[in-house]
Amino acid sequence: MAEAEVEVRNPSGLHARPAATFVRAAGGFGAEITVTNLTRDAERSANAKSVLGVMGLGVASGHRIRITGAGDDADAAVSHLVELVASGLGDALDAS
Amino acid sequence: MTRELRGVPAAPGAAVGAPWIHPPAGTGGAARLSLDEAAEAAAVEIAELGARLRARGHEAEAEILDAQGLMAGDPELIDPARALVEAGSPPADAIHEAGERVARTFEALDDEILSARASDVRDVAARIIRLMAGEAPPRLERRSVVVALDLPPSVTVELDPELLAGIALEGGTRTSHAAILSRSLGIPAVVGVAGLRDAAGTAAALGLDGDAGVVVVDPDADATARLASAADAAGERARADAAFGERPLATSDGHRVICAANIGDPVEAAAAFAAGAEAIGLFRTEFAFAGRGTAPDEETQARAYATVLRAAGDADVVVRLVDIGGDKPLPFLAIEPEANPFLGVRAIRLHERHPDLLPIQARAILRASLETGRRASIMAPMVADEADLDLVLRLVDEARTAVPDAPAPRVGIMVEVPSAVLLADRLAPRLEFMSIGTNDLTQYLLAADRSNSALAARQDPLHPAVLRAVASVVEASERACGSCEVAVCGEMAGDPVGAQLLIGLDVDELSMEPRSFGAVKRAVAARTHAELVALAEAAQGMSSPAAVRASVETPA
């Protein structure tokens, strides 16, 4: 069981491509990973491997999210995803 | 019987064609698939369509398809659908219902971007249903006007461009994705047409005027002839313009001018270069500030700017410091209500009250420059005199001290305040470039409020006074030994007549919307530099913008 919180800072939040980038990264881990949008509704969580689930959290720029993992590689998964979000989801703004 | 339906003009041009209503009734033609097979096939189709959009430079729409590709196999869509099937629901109804549930969740979140994504989910569900039913992808059989409530990008790009004459939508706005995509693909479009689908359902033919925002149901011979000839002329113009898209911006005797693009969002950069831009002459940065509750920090801004510098490669990118004011107030900038925001505390004038805004932005530009190894050009809007210029140069110096390893930026100003025109000889020697913003310059020079449609006729940048202002800025730059380049980034640069006059006035660069490249290049290539110089010289002595336009379109 691993857990961490991070603020989403890329301008469009976890919509469309940034959400897709996040979900693809989560899909690379065996652990069960969930995301919660603490700013909007701390009671509702979504499967981090579902783009519809993640988008449905309505994460906008400036929102805080919690990432929770359970399973063998949960620690690695959570720390990787937190870093990815903190860095603006890698190429989230890259048009190339 | 002919009748007209009014809507909102969304993309210019005219069209006549058979109505083709989306989604079409099924015709079969492919193997029926299971839910899982269909979901997988949908992801494959969507990826292919996304690649097609990306190849044509439509990055923003391609990104929508990237996300849709993931949605097709998403457990949040497929698992509830399977559960409904197990409970006895027909598979097509199950996936439809599952898609609706997700779409409604998105719509309930009261978030504009997410509400738009609801239609993306419905589009994916509809594609899976089509594949399960063994239906072939939608196909046009003849020249058609596509009719729909809304048309997802995935469908627009799937239809044969040779047969897609026009798009008419019952829903949508000028800024919806369907409208933006039809403009950039050059497909005439009208949106927001009430009663359209009912009327089109029984019609044999539809005409469409994308400039007037009118759909003609069953046009009579006269209307058909009128629309068809407008469509032919527009098509011919578009083909002729497109033939010039790849060529340099040059007169018939080889006098070259830099052809640059105006962009307002980082995702537009790649498309601008694909369309033939040699530089980004105006990168508006208001996108980074709009729609936010708090000011964007340095890192967020740097990432956005880096995207454009990276897409530009070795080409120049002119990043304009944010130009906001009382006409578009932001929650994190307390701006007092002003009687006339265009003459108010805007752009660099905000510095006194918001001393962090511009320094953060200047540092963000240099950080993007450092990160990408590309030199950036920084442009300050609303510079009126040397005191304003002192401030700008100080801001850039301070940013350079904070980010010492970044490549040295080029520094320039927008010339839009009339005082800057009169003082251009004082400003030019201290700058690397000046870019004339003809939209604001015209409203200030002629004291005609841009937002007042009653004064529309007084806002024509072809006015001899505006031409004289441009001439005097060019002259000031030449006296500064030509070390200060002169560009024009207003709408005038994208108007074939305006562009010819500006080249006749010897500006170094024209920066415009990429869709204007072809028309401007074609017009400029038809004349020699000497002819344009003579036209511009004569125009400065004329009595009205109309006389100027006529003299360039049909010279005596």
Three-state secondary structure of chain A: CEEEEEECCCCCCCCHHHHHHHHHHHCCCCCEEEEEECCCCCCCEEECCCHHHHHCCCCCCCCEEEEEEECCCHHHHHHHHHHHHHCCCCCCCCCC
Segment B10-38 mean pLDDT: 85
What integer pLDDT is reported at residue B291 of this predicted model? 64
Cα B149–Cα B151–Cα B154 angle in degrees, nearest 5: 155
Confidence at B368, pLDDT banded by 50, 70, 90: very high
Domain residue ranges of chain B, discontinuous segments joined by +: 3-24+141-241, 35-132, 243-543+545-549
Determine the Cα–Cα distance for residues B169 and A84; give it in Å rounded to an integer.
40
What integer pLDDT is reported at residue A94 of this predicted model? 36
Least confident of B11-15, B426-430, B500-504, B528-532: B11-15
Name the residue among A10, A52, A62 with its Cβ closest to that of B294: A62
Determine the Cα–Cα distance for residues B510 and B489; give it in Å rounded to an integer.
6
What is residue B56's three-state secondary structure? coil
- Chain B residues whose beta carbon lies within 8 Å of the beta carbon of residue A52: 71, 74, 76-77, 102, 121
Q: What are the C-alpha distances in Å from B180 to residues B10, B119, B120, B151?
A: 8, 16, 16, 11
Three-state secondary structure of B171-228: CCCCCCHHHHHHHHHCCCEEECCCCHHHHHHCCCCEEEECCCCEEEECCCHHHHHHHH
A13 touches chain B (CB under 8 A): yes
A2-86 has CATH 3.40.630.30 classification: no
Task: For residue B334, give how far its alpha carbon lies from the nearest alpha carbon of chain A (Å).
Answer: 20
Of the candidates B154, B196, B165, the residue with the CA atom closest to the CA atom of residue B8: B196
- Chain B residues whose beta carbon lies within 8 Å of the beta carbon of residue A54: none
CB contact under 8 A, A50 and B76: yes
Task: For residue A52, give how far its alpha carbon lies from the nearest alpha carbon of chain B (Å).
Answer: 6
Q: Model-level pTM greater than 0.90?
A: no
pLDDT at B124 over 90: yes
CB contact under 8 A, A47 and B76: yes
Of the candidates B121, B132, B115, B120, the residue with the CA atom closest to the CA atom of residue B97: B121
Name the residue among B111, B267, B303 with its Cβ closest to that of A60: B111
CB contact under 8 A, A11 and B304: yes
> What ipTM did this prediction achieve?
0.86
What integer pLDDT is reported at residue B324 of this predicted model? 87
The amino acid sitting at B482 is: G
What is residue B331's three-state secondary structure? coil
The amino acid sitting at B165 is: A
Strand B189-191 vs strand B164-169: parallel, antiparallel, or unpaired?
A: parallel
What is residue B290's three-state secondary structure? coil
List Cβ neighbours of B195 (8 Å cut-off, separation of 6 or more).
B5, B170
Q: How many CB atoms lie within 10 A of CB A27?
A: 13
The pLDDT tens digits for B275-307 are: 899 999 999 998 888 767 678 899 989 999 999
Segment B49-66 mean pLDDT: 80
What integer pLDDT is reported at residue A91 of this predicted model? 45
Least confident of B128-132, B262-266, B420-424: B262-266
CB contact under 8 A, A61 and B292: yes
Least confident of A65-79, B175-189, B482-496: B175-189
Confidence at B64, pLDDT banded by 50, 70, 90: confident
Segment B77-95 mean pLDDT: 94
Name the residue among A20, A40, A49 with its Cβ closest to that of B67: A20
Confidence at B175, pLDDT banded by 50, 70, 90: low
Confidence at A92, pLDDT banded by 50, 70, 90: very low
Mark which residues 56-85 of A lie under 8 Å from B by CB.
Answer: 56, 58, 60-62
**Closest chain B residue by Cα to residue A18:** B67
A88 touches chain B (CB under 8 A): yes
Q: What are the C-alpha distances in Å from B137 to residues A75, B42, B153, B480?
A: 44, 11, 14, 62
**Closest chain B residue by Cα to residue A58:** B109
Task: For residue A1, give how far its alpha carbon lies from the nearest alpha carbon of chain B (Å).
Answer: 22
- Chain A residues whose beta carbon lies within 8 Å of the beta carbon of residue B122: none
What integer pLDDT is reported at residue B174 of this predicted model? 65
Bridge-partner residues for B19, per DSSP? B145
CB contact under 8 A, A50 and B75: yes
- CATH superfamily entry for domain B243-543+545-549: Phosphoenolpyruvate-binding domains (3.20.20.60)
Determine the Cα–Cα distance for residues B84 and B513; give it in Å rounded to an integer.
49
List Cβ neighbours of B189 (8 Å cut-off, separation of 6 or more).
B10, B11, B166, B167, B168, B169, B178, B179, B182, B183, B208, B210
The pLDDT tens digits for B342-357 are: 899 999 999 998 999 9
Mark which residues 20-59 of A lie under 8 Å from B by CB.
Answer: 20, 23-24, 40, 46-47, 49-53, 55-56, 58
- Among candidate residues B22, B177, B351, B463, the one labeled active-site is B177
What integer pLDDT is reported at residue B161 of this predicted model? 85
DSSP per residue, B229-287: HHHHHHHHHHHHHHTTTTS-SB-TT--B-EEEEEESSTTHHHHHHHTT-SEEEEE--GG
B463 is annotated as an active-site residue: no
What is residue B18's three-state secondary structure? strand
The reply to whether B35-132 and B243-543+545-549 are identical in fold is no
Extract the tokens encoding B104.
Answer: 């409604």
Determine the Cα–Cα distance for residues B118 and B486; give it in Å rounded to an integer.
46
Q: What are the C-alpha distances in Å from B257 to residues B150, B379, B476, B485?
A: 41, 20, 19, 11
- Chain B residues whose beta carbon lies within 8 Å of the beta carbon of residue A88: 299-300, 303
* Average predicted confidence (pLDDT) for chain B: 90
B35-132 has CATH 1.10.150.300 classification: no
Which of B77, B117, B371 best probes binding to A when mutated, by most A CB atoms within 10 angstroms? B117
- Please give the share of chain B, as a percent, with pLDDT higher than 90: 63
What is residue B374's three-state secondary structure? coil
pLDDT at B517 over 90: yes
Strand B279-283 vs strand B258-263: parallel, antiparallel, or unpaired?
A: parallel
Confidence at A96, pLDDT banded by 50, 70, 90: very low
Of the candidates A47, A49, A46, A61, the residue with the CA atom closest to the CA atom of residue A14: A61
DSSP per residue, B392-444: HHHHHHHHHHHSTTSPPPEEEEEE-SHHHHHTHHHHGGG-SEEEE-HHHHHHH
Task: For residue A76, give how far its alpha carbon lies from the nearest alpha carbon of chain B (Å).
Answer: 23
The highest-level CATH class for domain B3-24+141-241 is alpha beta
What integer pLDDT is reported at residue B446 of this predicted model? 95
Determine the Cα–Cα distance for residues B167 and B182; give it in Å rounded to an integer.
8
pLDDT at B111 over 80: no
B387 burial via Cβ count (<10 Å: 0-12, 13-18, 19+): exposed
Of the candidates A60, A72, A5, the residue with the CA atom closest to the CA atom of residue A35: A5
Segment B111-129 mean pLDDT: 85
Extract the tokens encoding B445.
Answer: 């020079």
Q: What is the CA radius of gyration of chain B?
A: 26
Q: What is the CA radius of gyration of chain A?
A: 12
Extract the tokens encoding B72.
Answer: 């097709």
CB contact under 8 A, B59 and A95: yes
What integer pLDDT is reported at residue B403 of this predicted model? 97
User: How large is the greatest C-alpha to C-alpha distance in chain A, in angstroms?
Assistant: 38
List Cβ neighbours of B92 (8 Å cut-off, separation of 6 or more).
B129, B132, B133
Q: Which residues of A are identified as catalytic?
A: 15
Cα B69–Cα B183–Cα B100 angle in degrees, nearest 5: 35
- Chain B residues whose beta carbon lies within 8 Å of the beta carbon of residue A32: none
- Chain A residues whose beta carbon lies within 8 Å of the beta carbon of residue B266: 93, 95
Element (H, E) at B469: helix B464-479
Task: For residue A5, give how far its alpha carbon lies from the nearest alpha carbon of chain B (Å).
Answer: 19
- Chain A residues whose beta carbon lies within 8 Å of the beta carbon of residue B295: none
- Chain A residues whose beta carbon lies within 8 Å of the beta carbon of residue B294: 62
Residues of B with CB under 8 A from a CB of A: 59, 63-64, 66-67, 70-71, 74-77, 102, 105-106, 109, 111, 113-114, 117, 121, 266-270, 287-288, 292-294, 296-297, 299-300, 303-304, 306-308, 310-311
Which of A9, A14, A45, A51 best probes binding to B when mutated, by most B CB atoms within 10 angstroms? A51
The pLDDT tens digits for B134-164 are: 888 888 999 999 999 888 888 888 898 889 9
The pLDDT tens digits for B386-430 are: 999 999 999 999 999 999 999 999 999 999 999 999 999 999 999
Bridge-partner residues for B206, per DSSP? B17, B217
Extract the tokens encoding B404.
Answer: 């010492």
